Chain A
């Protein structure tokens, strides 16, 4: 298990022109949470042009289904992305979740109205806002998120003090 590799993934996605929104642990860190995370979570735009950019950005990194047995006929191309929605992948740079949609009405088109544009690693990165991140976590309703939710809500209280 390796730490979330934001340092490499974010500049690569941005420089390849991928439309994406940073969510999950990465967004939490951007807003000020001190928490370990082992993957990069992004919601990506499902339009074909963007899928092509995503393939350009990720194709050379040998992406493969995380936890799947080796040898599956997985091809990271536009057709695969069109046929699927959410991809939990491991690749040469570590783990990344490419999410077409998340619980709580979280597609790229709906979430893009709830982002902060933040300068990271020399690029402007769309990061889901803290209130929306809290709403997404609540919508997911996973017990494993309770502690994180408490921290995120406390963070919001501290920011608004």
Chain B
């Protein structure tokens, strides 16, 4: 067992043990496949978020300026 470290022990309180138990039921290859799937979804979400931000910045606002313009309104 690693030596006791109160800082690490404090972090342990928030560890989701059910997630670890589920992972321990998988083979190492299945764990990597799961990782790849999760990361693929994360990247898709990130791409979708970026597209949404891009669209928002391209859309003209009601006063005719760009949505993210920092120009002061007259």
Contact = CB atoms under 8 A, between A and B. Distances in A.
Co-complex (A, B): yes
Interface of A: 2-4, 6-7, 29-34, 36-37, 118-121, 127, 131, 134-135, 138, 146-147, 149-151, 153-156, 158-159
Contacts of B20: 32-34, 151, 154-155, 158
A154 B28 contact: no
B46 to A, nearest CB: 9
A34 B28 contact: no
A120 B28 CA distance: 7
Contacts of A29: 31-32, 35
Nearest to B10: A150
B2 to A, nearest CB: 5
B66 interface: no
Contacts of B24: 32, 155, 158-159
Interface residues of B, number: 29
B29 interface: yes
Nearest to B25: A32
Contacts of A7: 32, 36
B11 A120 contact: no
Contact of A30 (B1, B2, B32): B32
A130 B43 CA distance: 28
Contacts of B17: 154, 158
Contacts of B9: 150
Contact of A33 (B1, B14, B23, B38): B23
A102 to B, nearest CB: 17
Given A4-B39, A6-B36, 10 more contacts: A3-B40, A3-B43, A31-B28, A32-B23, A36-B42, A138-B2, A146-B11, A149-B8, A158-B17, A158-B20
Contacts of A34: 19-20, 23, 34-35, 38
7 contacts: A6-B32, A30-B31, A32-B31, A120-B32, A131-B2, A146-B11, A150-B11
